[in-house]
Structures are given as structure tokens and as C-alpha cells.
Amino acid sequence: MSIYAISDIHGCYDMFLEMLDKIQFDETRDTLYILGDIMDRGPKVPEMVRWVWKHESEHVIMLKGNHEDMFASYPDPDYYTFYFSQFSATELNRLLTWIPKLPLYKEVTVGGIDYVLVHAGITEEILKTGKDPDEFCIWARNEFYFGDGIPGKTIVFGHTPMMSRIIDEEITVHIWKPKGKNLIGIDTGAVFAKKFGGKLSCLRLDDQKEFYVYAK
């Protein structure tokens, strides 16, 4: 039994399926946390959403990302032309009721490490109150990276592709584990694979082993 975290798939459905094969994911025994942003940008968003709907359970847990939230907050058919042509009316209605109910974060202890899993970032106050009025969990960037983190917690997040420049540090396209901070950034820009050298990454929480899938 293993516990995995993956984020920012952005419709890269084929890469996602390849990752499941690579980690030999068994949904009867293993657990997969998807840290938001399965929607937008990529080629197979409907397939990705339908996979999550089909497999969502105590072993497949989806968190809310900013791209899911944007669609639910502003489902304009003129802007989201692709979605309104590829999803049925029933599926669109399901999206609009499903997304607001997605959790913003999850806490899990694996191998003696207390993890907080979230799309973009989190603060100790949010963890204490369970409230996020400023949408920090789905939009945070530098204010989170520059922050002090949460004592005793290791925060695993996505949102910012790791080929970006963070805190004046050039990040190679790998999972980011900054020295002196209990942060692990796992968005390695899957949807930008062909243009910027990104790839899809997955982290096994049991031993923090990293897995990568490259664009074909």
C-alpha cells in the first residue's frame, strides 16, 4: 500500500495514464491525491475529468485547483467554448455542482511525516480555522514560498511549474524541495512539456520517491 500525490495534470490524460502504469497504481490498495488543476490548457480535459469521476473514492481524492474554481465561478460558454462542445449538458451541470464541494486541502501522516496536501499553498491560520476567505489555497505564490511554513508540517503543493523562477532561484524541471523549508513543489509543467521541457511528476509520500513521465 502506497500513497501518492500528483498535481496540475491539465488535461494531459495520456501522460497521466502512463504515470499510473509507471507507479503500478492499484486503486484497491494505494491512494492517489490529485492536488487540483486537471482542467484547462491540455488536449484531453473531458477524458481526465471523467476518469476522476469514475474512480473518485477513498483511494482517489481530488482537491480543488484555481482552474476548476475559475470555471465554476464563471462558466461562460463564449470563453469555455471547448468545454461546452465536449461536455454534455448533464456533465456541465455536474461540474458546476462537483467543483464547489472539492476540498481545499488534506492532512495525512505517512511514515511518521505529517503532510498537508494543497493546490497552491496554506497557512497555519487556515489549518486552524478551516477557512480560506482570500483563496490562498488555490492562488498563493511568493507569499507562500517566502513564508515560514507550518511548524511540524511538510506541505506538498502544485500550482507553480518548477521551471519558473522562485525566490530568485532558477528551478530545474524537477520536484522542488527547497533547503531549510518543509515544502515540496510537484508541478513540473506537464502541459508545457513540448514547449518548455516540462513533464508530469508524481511523489510517493511513503519514501518521497519521485516519478516522471515525459511527453511523447
Domain-wise residue ranges, the chain: 3-213
Looking up cell 511548524 gives 151
What integer pLDDT is reported at residue 171 of this predicted model? Answer: 58
Count of Cβ atoms closer than 10 Å to residue 170 Cβ: 8
Round the CA-based radius of gyration of the chain to a whole number and report it: 16
Q: E strands along the chain, which residues?
A: 3-6, 31-34, 60-62, 105-110, 113-118, 154-157, 165-166, 169-170, 183-185, 200-204, 209-213
Pick out the chain residues at pLDDT < 70: 163-172
Tell me, what's the pLDDT at 59? Answer: 98
Contact 64, 119 (CB under 8 A): yes
Q: Interhelix angle for 89-98 vs 45-55, to 10°?
A: 60
Does the model's pTM come out above 0.85?
yes
pLDDT the model gives residue 166 = 52
* Confidence (pLDDT) at 164: 56
- The pLDDT value given to residue 63: 98
pLDDT of residue 93: 95
Give residue 58's pLDDT. 97
The per-residue pLDDT for 175 is: 92
CATH number of 3-213: 3.60.21.10
